[in-house]
Structure 1
């Protein structure tokens, strides 16, 4: 039984058709599909009815003005009509931010994407022979040119590359891997799980912190298919440690006629030691060291689209290509065109540091970062001239991210904000709810904007958000 007070309030709620006649919603109908406008109205009315019916003690004297309903309806319309995958400003200082889309594509790759996507193309057509061809040839030549590998295959991501390789070369046979290399990557995906799904049999050797060549050798038997080395790109073990180097593992593989595979995780083509980052082997070094198969990501340190790359001996790659799983893991024209365009930039070892955004951000010198931070701080001061928020430029640190180079930091400069009118947490929330959202980080009760990952064209967005925040404080 609905109380009389509730019935009275519910009767006063306007009908959908009545609300549709309101000038603000008539304007909305000119820009939005009618069904979205109607759905927004229905959702808001349903919420009001639910509140009235479930809160009998709070509705005495309750008034729901039509103008207030219109404001809520328009806000809901904006929310349900907006894209869910949106642009954000990365002010965290984490260059390869997994939650924020990882690496930015180079301009050349974006231009190539637009060309390929708006035209027909020879994705699976051999122009020389005039017949059906293979989509896998397009990026293969440039991969082999840069790395020195005999052959290459591109699939949807590195987990897929590892899965396909193990399923092809080691199904129902043993794969020997050091216990200290049984890594877990983002989303709780683990090497043992991927291996199990591939049909290969895991044979752990050594201890968490120390594995020796004799551990591998004593585990080799008639059921051994290959020796696997996994680069620990997302964590480090320090102290009393030992692992078998790739050249030593290759020698062991040659002795017993076993292929050696290395899963690099992040595919790095540039020596990062010049920027103070150590311990990340390049793909070229691994190929030169004699690995028979190498797998890595296309969207981390390489700086391209999400993809998994398999490099190695022609016979092994040919077998992978024939595996039925390859079709399930295959990439489309967008990935291939963006990856090929990105890879071509590596032909110029100097210019690539500027052309690939990931490398450009990693290689930014402290002096340039300090200048950028002061520039941003000055813009914020101009956009909201007030003592309500303290604006300070100070030194801090950035990270490469993306499961790469754990425990290593890049010196940077940040713009640190602290408000006298709101908490630092509320400051962070306000920036995050701006359109487009701005994602920074909190340290020592200050909201930090790390200029290493802020693109030059995004400074005005931050200034606009700061001005709006100040005016609403």
Structure 2
């Protein structure tokens, strides 16, 4: 290699790491993301330049372009799937009020301190008060870290070494391979299965009750529906049997919703005689992941004081988000569920017009959205979507602002029901970026 070749070798023109890191934009990013993360991105840009993929003069710009929005690995996504509570996308989107409450609770906060007296106070007392106010039929309430944990705590505290009477038709799989019977048996309880897969009556429960019965468990099979020759015992019928009745309503509907007439709610179950109700906080309630326990005072207090409750407790961030969800304005979940199809069509048409003007192959199409999250499996919400070529799916998922839709019959559908109206422009720009 002669001197001329060496002098013009582009690899020798790659700027030094310390020189790149001195760029003010990267200095600011180091304060926000951490110096190690920023240095990784700088080194990656330098390697691209050495490989000839990037001009050495563009190393700084490439490093800046690669900076993530936050130090966390999770990326905000526009949910255009038409699934309101999409488990893979984090289920319920928090309201603006909840997000503000989370930010306020991020530092030192009075989560277990009475500022007036300077003494220790009940953890999350204002969040508990908000939950109690939302369901006045509950004598007491408690919160753990998810819906399955609520049921585990109830089984451990009330039924370890004893029997839980449950219908064979309600021994469901709750997702990702986790099955209700396995969950309950892991607590040390024994299951007394009654009835058959398709038919269970109050008499079946009565015949199974005995000295070892801890409680009767009623589970709402929220992610499937059985039709035909079927029957099940109502909570009111079970409450007459004399044993405590624990009802897992699953999806977290606290009070009835006219849109979901077949979905059980906590208030209704308690009025029907349930001793304890368990539910999730990140489904129809529209809040953070949490397990809600509502019911008779002595039973809830027994659960709250059980040693396992400490391992399952929620942090200050969850408490803040839950309280704001309960007391604040309409949640994104409720807004999406009750979105007006006429307004949805107008939004879709406006985005479609903008894309068509830029030469994008786009159509406006009627579509059906669903609740998701294991709730209301037979309910279809009339909706409207943008229809794009299937080839847009992957680039939109991996773009600067990920947009996730669903593919049907060779077309990508972007349903705007779960996309906030103020994000229509962001979605439009994302599609245009893919179209080039």
Normalised by the size of structure 1, how large is the TM-score? Answer: 0.81
Contact 1:136–1:153 at 8 Å: present in 2 too? no
Contact 1:146–1:284 at 8 Å: present in 2 too? no
Matched, 1:189 2:164: no
1:106 Cα offset (Å): 2.0
For 1:128 and 1:25, how far apart are their aligned partners in 2? 48
**Paired residue secondary structure (2:413):** strand
**Paired residue secondary structure (1:84):** coil
Distance 1:251 1:393, change over 3 A: same
1:375 to 327, 350, 368: 350
Contact 2:369–2:382 at 8 Å: present in 1 too? yes
For 1:284 and 1:214, how far apart are their aligned partners in 2? 25
Contact 1:136–1:154 at 8 Å: present in 2 too? no
1:189 Cα offset (Å): 1.8
For 2:261 and 2:371, how far apart are their aligned partners in 1? 12
For 1:18 and 1:113, how far apart are their aligned partners in 2? 43
1:397 Cα offset (Å): 0.2
Q: Which moved more, 1:131-140 or 1:96-105?
A: 131-140
For 1:261 and 1:22, how far apart are their aligned partners in 2? 63
Contact 2:368–2:384 at 8 Å: present in 1 too? yes
Q: 2:4 aligns to what?
A: none
For 2:369 and 2:376, how far apart are their aligned partners in 1? 12
Matched, 1:171 2:142: no
2:290 to 293, 299, 307: 307
Contact 2:21–2:39 at 8 Å: present in 1 too? no
Q: 1:338 aligns to what?
A: 321
Matched, 1:133 2:121: yes
Q: 1:60 aligns to what?
A: none
Contact 1:36–1:81 at 8 Å: present in 2 too? no
Q: Which moved more, 1:102-111 or 1:161-170?
A: 102-111
Contact 2:38–2:67 at 8 Å: present in 1 too? no
1:113 to 99, 102, 117: 102
Written as runs of structure 1 = structure 2, the 5 A alignment for 1:292-441 is 292-345=275-328, 355-382=330-357, 384=358, 386=359, 389-418=360-389, 424=390, 426-441=391-406
Q: 1:84 aligns to what?
A: 73
For 1:242 and 1:152, how far apart are their aligned partners in 2? 31
Q: 1:67 aligns to what?
A: 54
For 2:18 and 2:116, how far apart are their aligned partners in 1? 63
For 1:284 and 1:183, how far apart are their aligned partners in 2? 23
**Paired residue secondary structure (2:204):** helix
For 1:66 and 1:21, how far apart are their aligned partners in 2? 18
Matched, 1:156 2:142: no
Higher helix share: 1
1:294 Cα offset (Å): 0.3
Q: Which moved more, 1:290-299 or 1:123-132?
A: 123-132
* 1:59-106 CA distance string (max 9 Å, x none): xxxx94373688799768866856411111111111111111211222
Contact 2:82–2:369 at 8 Å: present in 1 too? yes
Matched, 1:20 2:16: yes
Q: 1:144 aligns to what?
A: 132
* 1:174-200 CA distance string (max 9 Å, x none): 001001111111222221122122221
2:418 to 444, 453, 456: 453
Distance 1:392 1:160, change over 3 A: same
1:266 Cα offset (Å): 0.9
Q: Which moved more, 1:456-465 or 1:258-267?
A: 456-465
Q: 2:192 aligns to what?
A: 203
* 1:282-319 CA distance string (max 9 Å, x none): 21111111100000011110111111110111111111
**Paired residue secondary structure (1:408):** strand
Q: Which runs of 5+ in 2 are unaligned?
A: 1-8
Contact 1:246–1:289 at 8 Å: present in 2 too? yes
Contact 1:143–1:149 at 8 Å: present in 2 too? no
Q: Which runs of 5+ in 1 are unaligned?
A: 1-11, 49-62, 346-351, 419-423
Matched, 1:213 2:192: no
Structure having the higher Rg: 1
Contact 1:265–1:295 at 8 Å: present in 2 too? yes
Contact 2:17–2:43 at 8 Å: present in 1 too? no
Name the Cα RMSD after superposition: 2.9
Q: 1:463 aligns to what?
A: 428
For 1:75 and 1:427, how far apart are their aligned partners in 2? 25
For 2:315 and 2:397, how far apart are their aligned partners in 1? 33
Distance 1:416 1:187, change over 3 A: same
**Paired residue secondary structure (1:152):** strand
* 1:358-401 CA distance string (max 9 Å, x none): 1111111221211121122123234x2x2xx3221111100111
